[in-house]
Amino acid sequence: MALIEQADVWLFRLLNLNLVNPAADDLMVFLTSGRLSWHIFVLATLFMVIRKGNTGFLVIFFALLAVGISDFAASGILKPLVQRIRPCFALDHVRLLISQPHSYSFASSHAANTAAVATVTWIFFHRGVLVEKCFTCLMICYALAVSFSRVYVGVHYPGDVLAGTVIGIGTALLVYLVFSWLLKNIIQPRLMRHESCCDG
């Protein structure tokens, strides 16, 4: 574990101190702040409804449910359990670009939530027409960019965002698989029985 933590710190310093450019600072702050970039999710929501109609609302429900579960897993369970101090408090000479959050570091809820949305998008849109494939790629790129921004601005280790990404992907897949099982084994059989009774 000590070796993994040392590698995590080394990679953090590489991304936070060395692979930086002042021209990218504003973009990273924009990506990392929900108060600045919230309209991206509004546009994504509109796209889902326009492309999928009523099914789009189901996609949005899946996304919100996955985000709620992933956020709870990252912030409600892992952060108080692991209690990892953020790099901006634990390390010297951190390049900090935003106000210092006082919650724990592991795992990144930003990474978990955006990965959950990107995964739900992939499930429902990656086999669609070209514009839907492009939308899927954009949402995946956005999730990766947000995760990277958390390290760039100095508030998370790379290991934090990796764990958050895994949580987000896993949560979205779990939500979809559970719903698919319920649809196949409970909802559809009951609908079929109800239709049979009505026909009789």
What is the rounded radius of gyration, in angstroms, for the C-alpha atoms of the chain? 20
* Cα–Cα distance, 12 to 115 (Å, whole number): 20
Quote the pTM value.
0.90
Contacts of 25 (CB under 8 A, 6+ apart): 97
Task: Please give the CATH architecture assigned to the domain spanning 27-199.
Answer: Orthogonal Bundle (1.10)
| Alpha helical stretches, state H, 53-183 | 54-71, 79-82, 87-90, 109-125, 130-152, 158-182
How confident is the model over 166-188, as pLDDT tens digits? 999 999 999 999 998 988 888 77
How confident is the model over 2-60, as pLDDT tens digits? 898 999 999 999 999 999 999 999 999 999 987 777 888 899 999 999 999 988 999 99
